[in-house]
Chains A and B, each alone.
Chain A
Amino acid sequence: DGGITQSPKYLFRKEGQNVTLSCEQNLNHDAMYWYRQDPGQGLRLIYYSQIVNDFQKGDIAEGYSVSREKKESFPLTVTSAQKNPTAFYLCASSIRVERAQYFGPGTRLLVL
């Protein structure tokens, strides 16, 4: 997992509730990413950030929001607008956007 931590490991969301997934890295990487993984599927990009205070939408940003106030932190909020949030969420970072991404251990989000 190489210096990238995600918490919690499991998260339960009630209907209509916003939840925030934490991602921290101590690799001094500029770029950070959030992916969603569904069973038997590849990874789909939600948001990414190349530098502090900047982030870009990925392929499936609707119903999610992020912030990048510190270089080492890139939290993801799953809002009530995300109607199918049950998935495995993966955070990654890289030295910069063009380089290999390294992943955290993931957070599994379940809906009650």
Chain B
Amino acid sequence: GESVGLHLPTLSVQEGDNSIINCAYSNSASDYFIWYKQESGKGPQFIIDIRSNMDKRQGQRVTVLLNKTVKHLSLQIAATQPGDSAVYFCAEKYYGGSQGNLIFGKGTKLSVKP
């Protein structure tokens, strides 16, 4: 796998490799984070979330890592499959904020080569 930041919006990996998608979040007070997957022409799909009192959380083939010191979030996808090809967004939420919205990154496009 190959890690990228949001300034490099495309990640291309070989099928079966691990993928790492990175996200730098903006607000040091943000305490809840979510990763979404969006396939072309569809709505975003919830993948996994993590609260700021944790630094790692695992799901099925996915792991989210949170480094609050440097305000960095990553999504690791194990054994990447063609069906994983999509745009991946991170979102942050400031728990104490008055607005109801999540703040979304612009996304990283993951392309899986067979």
Q: Which residues of A contact B (CB under 8 A)?
A: 1, 4, 6, 31, 33, 40-43, 45, 48, 50, 56, 58-59, 90, 92, 97-98, 100-106, 108
Taking a contact as CB atoms under 8 Å apart, the answer to whether A98 and B32 are in contact is yes
* B106 close to A (CB within 8 Å): yes
Q: What residue of chain B has the Cβ atom nearest to residue A91's Cβ?
A: B43
What B residues does A56 contact at CB under 8 A?
99-100
What A residues does B34 contact at CB under 8 A?
100-101
Return the 6 tightest CB-CB contacts between A and B, nearest first.
A103-B43, A45-B101, A42-B104, A48-B100, A97-B100, A43-B104
Cα A4 to Cα B41 with chains together (Å):
16
Q: Which residues of B contact A (CB under 8 A)?
A: 32, 34, 36, 41-46, 49, 89, 93, 95, 99-102, 104-107
Taking a contact as CB atoms under 8 Å apart, the answer to whether A103 and B100 are in contact is no
What A residues does B99 contact at CB under 8 A?
45, 48, 56, 58
Query: What are 18 A-B interface contacts by the 8 Å CB criterion?
Result: A41-B106, A43-B89, A43-B102, A48-B99, A48-B101, A58-B99, A59-B101, A90-B43, A100-B34, A100-B49, A101-B46, A102-B46, A103-B36, A103-B44, A103-B45, A103-B46, A105-B43, A106-B43
Cα A33 to Cα B106 with chains together (Å):
19
Cα A105 to Cα B104 with chains together (Å):
18
Cα A92 to Cα B102 with chains together (Å):
11
Q: A41-B106, A42-B105, A98-B93 are in contact. Are A33 and B42 (CB under 8 A)?
A: no
Cα A26 to Cα B42 with chains together (Å):
19
